[in-house]
């Protein structure tokens, strides 16, 4: 299977979980990584600088109409939903100021559902630690489109309600301890680039 994009959703405890995953991804990692982590509305929490310290990839806040390229970790900006839009030429981001979804803005569901619509079975969806149930419907949409679905095992989460909701809704392909997720993404990413 040739995957095209990785989408990751996280909430409480997500900063540390993302550091664990991003720290193992190599500079030549072939897939773009797009992250929604629940942030305060007026947040200037320096999340991209924090993650950049451990990541070989370039960590940026996503911008409206920005092309989606490998070599980057794109973060959903605070107080915006982040969507993937597809044109005949390429996929790019769109930012939305619509109302919160599942009490969250940015919403994991919004990103995952739009990525599944744009990329179909080319999506790898990952749900990490967090509270409430944002991401459960989005991960189910990725699964329905034929993408790869991964959930952090609840016993390795700082907050387990979000992963548990995703497991119940999506019946994910893989439930993995946090320390194994980055290595699994490397394996799947390399397989995406093998010649047929």
List residues with catalytic annotation. 11, 38, 134
Rounded CA-CA distance 53/59 in Å is: 9
CA dihedral (56, 24, 10, 47) positive or negative: negative
What is the three-state SS of the chain? CCCCEEEEEECCCHHHHHHHHHCCCCCCCCCCEEEEECCCCCCCCCHHHHHHCCCCCEEEECCCCCECCCCEEEECCCCCEEEEEECCCCEEEEEECCCCECCECCCHHHHHHHHHHHHHHHEEEEECCCCCCCCHHHHHHHHHCCCEEEEECHHHCCCCHHHHHHHHHHCCCEEECHHHHHHHHHHHHHHHCCCC
With CA atoms as reference, report the closest residue to 164 among 117, 127, 126, 120: 127
């Amino acid at each position: 299977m040739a995957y095209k994009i990785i989408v990751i959703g996280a909430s409480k405890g997500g900063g540390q979980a993302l550091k664990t995953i991003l720290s193992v991804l190599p500079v030549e990692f072939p897939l773009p990584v797009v992250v929604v982590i629940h942030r305060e509305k007026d947040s200037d929490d320096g999340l991209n600088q924090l993650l950049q310290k451990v990541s070989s990839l370039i960590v940026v806040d996503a911008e409206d109409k920005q092309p989606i390229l490998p070599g980057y970790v794109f973060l959903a900006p605070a107080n915006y939903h982040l969507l993937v839009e597809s044109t005949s030429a390429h996929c790019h981001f769109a930012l939305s100021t619509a109302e919160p979804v599942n009490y969250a803005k940015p919403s994991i569901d919004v990103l995952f559902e739009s990525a599944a619509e744009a990329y179909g079975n080319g999506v790898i969806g990952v749900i990490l630690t967090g509270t409430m149930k944002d991401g459960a419907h989005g991960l189910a949409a990725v699964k329905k489109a034929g993408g790869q679905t991964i959930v952090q095992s609840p016993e390795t989460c700082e907050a387990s309600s979000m992963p548990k909701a995703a497991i119940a809704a999506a019946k994910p392909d893989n439930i993995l301890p946090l320390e194994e997720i980055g290595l699994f993404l490397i394996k799947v990413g390399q397989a995406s680039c093998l010649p047929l």
